Structure 1
Amino acid sequence: MKRVLLSIIATCSLLNAGGYKVPEQSADSLGLAASNVAFSFGADAAYFNPANMMFLDGLHHFESTLGWFHINSIDFKSDGGKSYSSEKFDSLAGTFSFVTPEIYENWRFGLALAVPAAVGISWEDPETAFTGKRFKLQVVELNPTVAYRINDKLAIALGARGVYSKGKIASDFGRFGYREIQGDGINYGYNVALTYRPIEDLSFAVTYRSKVNLELKGSADADFNGALAPISYHGKTRVEIPLPAQLVLATGYKFSDFTLLLAFERTYWSKFKDYDFEYDDKTAAHSHPILGRYFKAFMDDPVVKNAKDTNTYRIGLAYDVNEKLRLMAGFSYDEDITSSEHTGLELPNTTSQAYSFGANYKFTPNLELGLGYLYQHRDKKRATGIKNGTRNGTGSMSGEFDASSVQITAMTFKYSF
């Protein structure tokens, strides 16, 4: 259960690396596979690269996005020959970005509300429900930023990150019992950015998002049966994990009616060594020489992650068909964050490739509408030592996750004044 909650929080809150990586927060970023870092086409600069706010025109810029997330069923086949399938998951999420004009000379301010993901997965088979019968996580990030123009070619920016996370998870231990954990938390970090344009059509950018110490506090309700009834738990629980820092190096070049965008991301997942829940309302039964071992096995067994730093490579191409219509396409390659030994049913990390396209239409000089679509292919992945339920208690199994996919569609409304 700890692996379920923490893995999802880690991947979704940070918007990057491994897991269900969903960094796209606007139709432009979706259509360009989140390569729009060196150049920005609107207010989403406030989130992806606030230094770019200094290169927008002098108006107020606002945009709001509604996105649909679809995670297909994930198939797992054990070495014993049995197959399991997770349930499909669908969710809607909304975001917005806002950029001011230069209220003070050479200064601009931005504000972005990002919904990294609303992710859920469930396994109904008793053997897999032991790890995660059902869980859901919602994450919201508020990111105010300020940008400063050093000269006509160079701009820098600084921002604060406020991340709110809310999770709910259930595990079914069969004849042994059932448990549910829920919690939430607000945590903080910062981000910085720099954009340098030696000539008008060439841009270089660097962005950095700090590590955020994510703390979740909530409650756990666990009811065990028979001889294990004394270790039932109804009380407080908490956990703290580091969300790794992220560095992005990007460039872009405009030629004729095209804009080519490249981005390289380095995410420092190696900060994830292990993690564990703390239960503040334990009784003597939970520390009993015999019963305590069962409580540890079902509720309090630390999870070793040993994640590694990963790279993501992004490329995007925008084409201005005319003064009103812009077409976009993108591709990204994302590395896996964990070994087979540390991959579980709750979040089958794997290498992935994303293909995207989009369009932006300008109805008036101040009103635009953008559409974006992304398809992410997730490779097959071997997994070993997955904890599961058996007729006699707990066990483990190994096998292979089949290839799977994630789809995202978004519509963005843009307005400047």
Structure 2
Amino acid sequence: MKKLVLSLLVGASSFAAYAGGFQVVLQGVRQTSMGNVATAVPDAASMFFNPGAVAMLEGNVVSAGVSPIISRVSYLESEPYYSEAKTDNPVSLPFYLYAAFGFGPENANGVKRLKAGVGVFTPFGSTVKWEDGWAKQSYLRELSLRAIYIQPTVSFMLSDYIGIGAGLDVVVGSIDLKRGIPDPTTGNFAEVKFSGTTETALGYNLGLFVKSPDGFSFGLNYRSKVTSEVKNGDVTFDLTGTSQTFQQNANLQDTKFSSSLPLPAVLTLGFAYSNDKLTVATDLRYTQWSDYKELKFEFQDPIAGATRSVSKRKYKDALTLGIGAEYGVTDALKARIGAYYDFTPVPQGYMTAETPDANALGLTAGLGYSLGKLNINAGFLFVNKEKRSQLAASDANTISGTFKTQAYIPSFGVSYNF
């Protein structure tokens, strides 16, 4: 019994892996529609993708959008016992909100050189809920993880062709995780729940944008790592339906927990070409997942004799390559298309029920329509992760079997320029 409970607790610490393997890059509907490329294309969403490009905006802008994630993970185990299951995930709602305003001196075209504003967005976080009664519920029943970034930003036009910018990231979040604990005497499951809010954490975002008179542009963006900490989170147990023998021997008691989660640094390089009708762009994103080597999980009071646990992750740095295009069908209507390929940071042997991650192909499309100062955007992203099998577990929380993940993500946004 003690071994079973300790294994459960070590596994529970891996909730952070879900954020690592599921980075959420949905911070602009226009950008999502173009294969998530944005570093060299000035837009209100440049506040996230490249604050150096914000200075190139002609006026003030307010922009908002949402991208509902409809996802499904399938699981198949063939050895030693055949079982299969699917997730029954609720729709999660990553969102963004930007506001940028011009100040100070103007260039020859009447564009103010200094821009300042704020962005609010959710680059990490999602929800996983496995169907009721699945055989591996001791690994996970349900997970909800959110990280919200609030970013005051300044951007300055050094010349008509060069912009620089910086933002301060203020990060808050929350975690709720549920797992089952099998009672061998009844066949029923107890439940353990981990819940808490993160301490306010700080990071930064830097950007450089350079363009040429003939339509070519270059962008460079660096977003720093943020260490997000949970202190005095709650560990609670529901033993309903379990036997007295199990309750007496398991030594499960409600307590507090603390842990930390690295949200990795990201470096992105982008190129673009634009003329009166067409914009073509590409981004190369390098995410430093290797900072996520392990996750320590500490308990205020002993559970089954343990006051801490360590879960190995050993993530590796990973690349994402995207390409996209926007074409002006009319002066008001724009059509967009794109694709990206995302290499997984999760090594073989370290997939979990929270992070059954694999290399992924994203296909995107969308439309934008201008009504004077008001712009309306809609897009769609289809994510197809490769089927991936794991035959041997290398950690207390990893799981053998075959996983397949797909996601369908419509997106809707509006912006107002003035």
Query: Which TM bucket (shorter chain)?
Result: 0.7 to 0.9
Query: 2:388 aligned to 381, 405, 409, which one?
Result: 381
Q: Which amino acid aligns with 1:194?
A: L
Deviation at 1:247, TM superposition (A): 0.3
Q: Are 2:222 and 1:220 equivalent residues in the alignment?
A: no
Deviation at 1:95, TM superposition (A): 1.9
CA distance in 1, matches of 2:408, 2:321: 19
Map 1:55-94 → 2, pairs under 5 A: 55-57=56-58, 59-80=59-80, 81-94=82-95
- Point out 4+ residue stretches in structure 1 off by more than 6 angstroms: none
Q: Are 2:196 and 1:183 equivalent residues in the alignment?
A: yes
Equivalent residue for 2:378?
371
Equivalent residue for 1:39?
41
Q: Which has the higher helix share?
A: 1
Query: 2:27 aligned to 19, 25, 28, which one?
Result: 25
Secondary structure of the 2:35 match is: coil
CA distance in 1, matches of 2:142, 2:399: 19
CA contact (8 A) 1:2 1:276 kept: no
Relative to 1, partners in 2 of residues 1:190 and 1:36: Cα closer, same or farther, differing over 3 Å?
A: same
CA distance in 2, matches of 1:26, 1:243: 20
Equivalent residue for 2:256?
236
CA distance in 1, matches of 2:118, 2:397: 48
Identical columns (%): 21
Q: Are 2:146 and 1:138 equivalent residues in the alignment?
A: yes
Relative to 1, partners in 2 of residues 1:385 and 1:220: Cα closer, same or farther, differing over 3 Å?
A: farther
CA distance in 1, matches of 2:230, 2:381: 31
CA distance in 2, matches of 1:150, 1:118: 36
Relative to 1, partners in 2 of residues 1:122 and 1:214: Cα closer, same or farther, differing over 3 Å?
A: same
Query: When the two structures are superposed, what TM-score results if normalisation uses the length of structure 1?
Result: 0.87
Q: Are 2:219 and 1:205 equivalent residues in the alignment?
A: yes
- Runs of 5+ consecutive residues of structure 1 not aligned to the other structure: 12-18, 389-393
- Computed over aligned residues only, the root mean square deviation of the Cα atoms, in angstroms, reads 2.3
CA distance in 2, matches of 1:274, 1:308: 12
Secondary structure of the 1:114 match is: strand
Relative to 1, partners in 2 of residues 1:69 and 1:227: Cα closer, same or farther, differing over 3 Å?
A: closer
Relative to 1, partners in 2 of residues 1:223 and 1:255: Cα closer, same or farther, differing over 3 Å?
A: same
CA distance in 2, matches of 1:252, 1:223: 55
CA contact (8 A) 1:32 1:315 kept: yes
Relative to 1, partners in 2 of residues 1:275 and 1:345: Cα closer, same or farther, differing over 3 Å?
A: same
CA distance in 2, matches of 1:99, 1:332: 28
Q: Which amino acid aligns with 2:380?
A: Y
What is the count of residue pairs matched by the alignment? 388
Secondary structure of the 2:64 match is: strand
Query: 1:253 aligned to 252, 265, 273, which one?
Result: 273
Q: Which amino acid aligns with 2:367?
A: A
Secondary structure of the 2:39 match is: coil
Q: Are 2:325 and 1:344 equivalent residues in the alignment?
A: no
Q: Which amino acid aligns with 2:192?
A: R
Query: When the two structures are superposed, what TM-score results if normalisation uses the length of structure 2?
Result: 0.87
1:22-47, Cα deviation, whole Å (9 max, x unpaired): 2022210210121021012x311222
Relative to 1, partners in 2 of residues 1:354 and 1:126: Cα closer, same or farther, differing over 3 Å?
A: closer
Q: Are 2:405 and 1:404 equivalent residues in the alignment?
A: yes
- Runs of 5+ consecutive residues of structure 2 not aligned to the other structure: 1-10, 107-112, 185-189
CA contact (8 A) 1:206 1:248 kept: yes
CA distance in 1, matches of 2:284, 2:398: 38
Q: Which amino acid aligns with 1:399?
A: G
